[in-house]
Amino acid sequence: MRGPHNIWRLIRTGATLERTGAMGVVLDAFEAPPQLRIVVRTLVWPFRWLGIKGDTSAPPLPRALTALGPAYIKFGQVLSTRPDVVGSDLATQLRVLQDKLPPFDLATAKTAVETELGMPVDDMFSEFSEPVAAASIAQVHKARLAETGEEVAVKVLRPGIEKAFRKDVDAYYFAADMIELLSPASRRLRPREVIEHFDGVVTGELDLRLEAASASEFSANTVGDAGFQLPTVNWMYSGKRVMTLGWAEGVSLGDNEALDAAGHDRHALGSRVLELFLSHALRDGFFHADMHQGNLKVAANGDIIAYDFGIMGQIDEYTRRVYAEILFGFIQRDYRRVAEVHFEAGYVPADRNVDEFARALRAVGEPIFGMDATRISMGRLLSYLFEVTERFGMETRTELILLQRTMVVVEGVSRSLDPEVNIWNVAHPVVEDYIKQSLGPKALAKDLMKTARVLGRFGPRLPGLVEDLLTRQSDTQDEDIRKGCPMMFLGGAVGVACGIGAVLVFNAMT
């Protein structure tokens, strides 16, 4: 599936961008230099006639991305949250990709629901509306449960969506392999691993049972968060291709005029979106990774309502601590500490100079402070960060891709509500509180308790493990065993002692 035939798909991508007029829009948005414009247009123009025409009534870039399919639409959704990168006009145009795509017909949706849940739609729902929102992977219908009268949202996957995504992802794999082959310098960015990560995310998003489980876990984590709501999953009427949630009533977070008319404070909302994301990522290690305006509403009481849990991010506790220290270092303008954390975590090769890296980080961070947030060009900032990572041989951290991507999206959402929101000012108290909780004496005691639990659980097995190790080695390395036996038995004795000690410590703690 990932052979050279994917060249056709990639050629058609460029041809579609050219035919719809989107190629020029993209090059302008990213301020591409004249040389790059000439090369790109020269390579693509002869194939222009192969491009998909698309909906001629739509603006060029939304028209091209919609014509190319769901994976490209996902990319457009990210850009729609970055007016500071692509410009406010283009960001507004792209916002239709969030939940205003062409829907499939009602009859097809009802058939899909009946096939998945094994019951007639009329037996389950007393009302079942036309689509109220349509995105790249699924569309949503407003319905009413026949049994209880509760209003619900029924999400139904698009017909054939799995095959469509598979085709795009296969082309991406091929492109990643070609990039690594033709540009060895690009391998530090691990393009294939990036695509594998994207593939895993998409695969999970195409199984609505996993989305329902994510929604349930997210709800349990955030039940005490002030100013935040989540719809409840109805498991009885959910399956692989259909998911039913409680109906979320509110104003779209992307409709500033409606928010103003309802009397909501957009500055407070913009700050809260950032605070909630950082709290979920740092405190829980489990966060909504698709927080664009199409997945957020504001309730009448001012609470932010999140929905669409197809893409969730997860990071382990150690990575959360590293990420928090990096953020806090930037906030404190302690670039030396930020550099040290990068080296300690292995993000930068050990043979590089920590002082030089600290100076490079200072050049990235200093322009942010003392400057009006509206004057900060995130595009230029990201461009310089890329140069820094290339200079110091940093590899792409695939476990942080979703976190970094969501950070960009959330900041874009926040800026769309209030252009003067400064991410660093909002982040300061959230990150500082996490640092106190995760790196202080309380955190140390918690870590020791976890270690004691592990040792207490495995301590009784240590003698057997040592004996097995010695038996295996004696079969092949008699001489080494004779020399190493005393130390090995000593290690086994220490292990047993540690295990017993751990059990005593754990019992004392509990």
Residue with the bigger pLDDT between 112 and 490: it is 112
Q: Which of 36-45, 314-323, 435-444 has the lowest mean pLDDT?
A: 435-444
Task: Using alpha carbons, select from 161, 155, 109, 107 the residue that is nearest to residue 137.
Answer: 161
Q: What is the pLDDT of residue 498?
A: 34
Q: Which of 84-98, 151-165, 496-510 has the lowest mean pLDDT?
A: 496-510
Ranked by mean pLDDT, the top range of 142-156, 158-172, 198-212 is: 142-156
What does the pLDDT average to over 58-73? 85
HSE, CB side, 13 Å, CA atoms: give it for residue 496.
Answer: 10
Both structure tokens of 438: 């995760």
Furthest-apart CA atoms within the chain: distance in Å:
84
Distance, CA of 88 to CA of 285 (rounded, Å): 32
Distance, CA of 406 to CA of 390 (rounded, Å): 22
Distance, CA of 270 to CA of 422 (rounded, Å): 10
What percent helix, strand, coil does the chain show, rounded to 5? 65, 10, 25
Question: Which among 84, 99, 225, 290 is annotated as catalytic?
Answer: 290
User: 135 pLDDT exceeds 50?
Assistant: yes
Task: Using alpha carbons, select from 274, 327, 314, 301 the residue that is nearest to residue 438.
Answer: 327
Both structure tokens of 322: 């590293």
Residue with the bigger pLDDT between 357 and 205: it is 357
Q: In DSSP terms, which residues pair with 145 in a beta bridge?
A: 125
Q: What is the pLDDT of residue 246?
A: 96
Q: What is the pLDDT of residue 491?
A: 37
Distance, CA of 423 to CA of 440 (rounded, Å): 25
Is 316 part of the annotated catalytic residue set? Answer: no
What does the pLDDT average to over 72-97? 72
Q: Where does the pLDDT of residue 345 fall: very low under 50, low under 70, confident under 90, or very high at 90 and above?
A: confident
Q: Where does the pLDDT of residue 145 fall: very low under 50, low under 70, confident under 90, or very high at 90 and above?
A: very high
User: 87 pLDDT exceeds 90?
Assistant: no
pLDDT tens-digit series, residues 5-49: 667 777 888 889 888 988 888 777 666 677 767 877 787 888 888
Overall residue count recorded for the chain in this entry: 510
Measured from the Cβ of residue 194, the count of other Cβ atoms closer than 10 Å reads 15
- Indicate the average pLDDT of the chain: 79
User: 505 pLDDT exceeds 60?
Assistant: no
Q: What is the pTM of this model?
A: 0.71
